[in-house]
Amino acid sequence: MNIIELKEIYKIYGKSDYRTIALNNINLAIEKGDFLAIMGPSSSGKSTFLNILGCMDVPTSGEYYLNGVLINSQSDRALSNIRNHTVSFIFQNFALLKDYSLYENIELPLLHRKIPSKQKKEKIMHYSSKLGINSILRKKPQETSGGQQQRAAIARALVCESEVILADEPTGALDQKTGENLLLLLKQINQEGKTILIVTHDSKTANYANKIITINDGEIV
């Protein structure tokens, strides 16, 4: 069963002689439970591709289906709901709020949900424990290591219990050992049924995925 289908997706910035084609006629089907790596050089369109999948951006033309629903026609409110329930991001720079504790950062996506405080806490503690950071949840990001911050960013994505997890260069800011541990963790999460897509320029990182797709000059090659 396909969870994502892209049909003739184009993303164009600018007009006339000043236009840039970021994505050029992308056609792709991603099955539920896939672990996909998206490779390509800098400025090849990888991040634009990921942003469209995560409903952070919209294509100029083409059709994007998520769970059989045409995303192009959805309202801003519906797209916000999708980002909060169906798709979660793990950002390269972690995107943690420095004035909030790790616990509060992980809790952020749950604040818009009408669920009891006790249930929120149970979710946060469950995934924090799974990631080995439950003992440092009261610390602020600047008081923790890069690996601990990355795990907090992953926990924030996991508490949503989204079907799809998108990771943009997830090991880019980590040392080799921490990066390997993160990829093994993503592999484990994938084996539990989550669909995972990672953007990377590193072939070693890509080899953790089940499938590899290369984008160059906005095209799948």
Residue 181's pLDDT is 80
CA distance 182 to 151: 8
Residue 9: the pLDDT is 97
Per-residue pLDDT, 175 = 76
CB atoms closer than 10 angstroms to residue 142? 9
Q: In this structure, are residues 84 and 159 in contact, taking their beta carbons and an 8 Å threshold?
A: no
| Confidence (pLDDT) at 60 | 94
Return the pLDDT at 51. 92
Q: Give the separation between CA 52 and CA 37, rounded to whole angstroms.
A: 16
- Identify the pLDDT of residue 138: 97
pLDDT at 102: 97
The domains of the chain, with CATH numbers, are 33-58+76-220 (3.40.50.300)
DSSP β-bridge partners for residue 31: 2
Q: Which residues of the chain have pLDDT under 50?
A: none
